């Protein structure tokens, strides 16, 4: 299973409207995406929409049936500890995982936000 996870070690594709994760699971294409400006989460398996939900919770934890009959559990969302995260697992373990807090770009973005906030705060006080 680890070889399958290594094939899937890629981060999200980001656009103005969506954050999208795409990975393969035992010959099936799985796409998980979340809207940036509205509360919509979607999951596609082999281009078929299997989950379309409006939710402001910023986290999803659902189990989906793959066409081969297996269950795939997907946890996706944003937390202050992990940042943007997704974990997909089956009965054998994790098949895909991304945690933005392990990504240099995440920390760079946090640093830029802190610097901009400090600059604005300093100018407001002065």
7: CATH: 2.40.128
Whether residue 123 lies inside any domain: the answer is no
Q: What is the tally of structural domains in the chain?
A: 1
Sheet of strand 71-79: strand arrangement = 59-65, 71-79, 83-90, 93-99
Residue 97 has pLDDT above 80, yes or no: yes
What is the predicted pLDDT for the residue at 94?
Answer: 93
What is the predicted pLDDT for the residue at 102?
Answer: 65
pTM equals 0.71
How far is residue 47's CA from residue 33's CA, in Å, rounded to a whole number? 13
Residue 110 has pLDDT above 70, yes or no: yes
DSSP run (H or E) holding 112: helix 104-125
Whether residue 71 lies inside any domain: the answer is yes
Pairing relation of β-strands 71-79 and 59-65? antiparallel
Whether residue 126 lies inside any domain: the answer is no
The helix, strand and coil proportions of the chain, stated in percent and rounded to the nearest 5, come to 25, 50, 25
Give the domain range for residue 18: 2-101
């Amino acid at each position: 299973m680890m070889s399958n996870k290594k094939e899937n070690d890629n981060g999200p594709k980001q656009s103005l409207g969506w954050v999208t994760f795409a990975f393969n699971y035992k010959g099936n294409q799985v796409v998980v995406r979340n809207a940036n400006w509205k509360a919509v989460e979607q999951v596609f398996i082999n281009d078929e929409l299997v989950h379309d939900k409006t939710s402001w919770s910023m986290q999803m934890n659902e189990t989906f049936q793959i066409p081969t009959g297996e269950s795939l559990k997907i946890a996706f969302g944003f937390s202050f500890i992990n940042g943007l995260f997704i974990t997909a697992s089956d009965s054998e373990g994790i098949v895909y995982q991304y945690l933005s807090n392990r990504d240099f770009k995440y920390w760079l973005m946090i640093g830029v936000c802190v610097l901009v906030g400090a600059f604005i705060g300093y100018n407001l006080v002065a």
